[in-house]
Amino acid sequence: MHNKEEITKRVINVFANSFNMDESKVKISDTKKDIELWDSIGHLHLIMNIELEFEIRLSVDEINGINSVENCIKIINKSLDGN
């Protein structure tokens, strides 16, 4: 089992780096609409950074499913537990 709190922290850090934001500005409830640089290219940078950070490989369905910080954390946890 992975430490959920620690994972949340790391996800927020990846969001901040991917979208040029301060960590304190990233909220769990943020969706694609709330983050300015989260467009289609930004999405791919985010996915690549997540895969690098957590050493996981997401499927096309998982990649397409990520549309908020909250469900991103959920999908990462699921992927980590599955390994």
Partner 1 sequence: MKVYFLGNYTQNLVSDTFIRFAKAQNFDITVYTSGFNQYRQEIINPNSPLYRHSPDVVFLSVDLFTLTEDIIYSNAKNLSGVFEERISDFLQLLKTLDENLTGTQIFIDNFFFFRPVTMATIEYNSPFGYLQLENIANTMLTEMVAGTGNLKIVNVKSLVDQKGAENLFDERMHYLAKSHWSQKGLQDLAGLYLRYFKAYKGIRKKCVVLDLDNTLWGGIIGDDGIENIKLSNDGEGKAFYDFQRELLKLYNRGILLAINSKNTEEIVVETMEKHPYMLLKPDHFISMKINWNNKAQNMEEIADEINLGLDSLVFLDDSEFEREVIRNKFPEIYTPALPKDFSEYPNFIRNLDVFDFLSLTGDDFARNKMYKSNVQRNKLRKSTMNIEDFYYSLDMEATINKTTPFQVPRIAQMTQKTNQFNLRTQRYTESDIKRFMEDENHEVYFLSLADKFGDNGIVGTAIINIDGEAAFIDSFIFSCRALGRTAETALLNYIIDDVKSKGLKKLEGEYLPTKKNMPCKDFYKDHGFEGKGGKWGINLDDYQHKHIPWIKVFS
Residues of this chain that bind partner 1 (CB under 8 A) = 40-41, 44-45, 48, 51-52, 59-60, 63-64
Please check whether residue 69 is in contact with residue 30, taking contact to mean a CB–CB distance below 8 angstroms: yes
CB of 74 to partner 1, least distance (A): 20
Min dist CB 66 to partner 1, Å, is 12
Tell me which long-range contacts 39-45 makes (C-beta under 8 A, separation of at least 24): 42/18, 45/18
| Residue 27 or 45 with smaller CB distance to partner 1 | 45
Judged by beta carbon, residue 1 or residue 41, the one nearer partner 1 is: 41
Do 77 and 2 contact (CB within 8 A), yes or no? yes
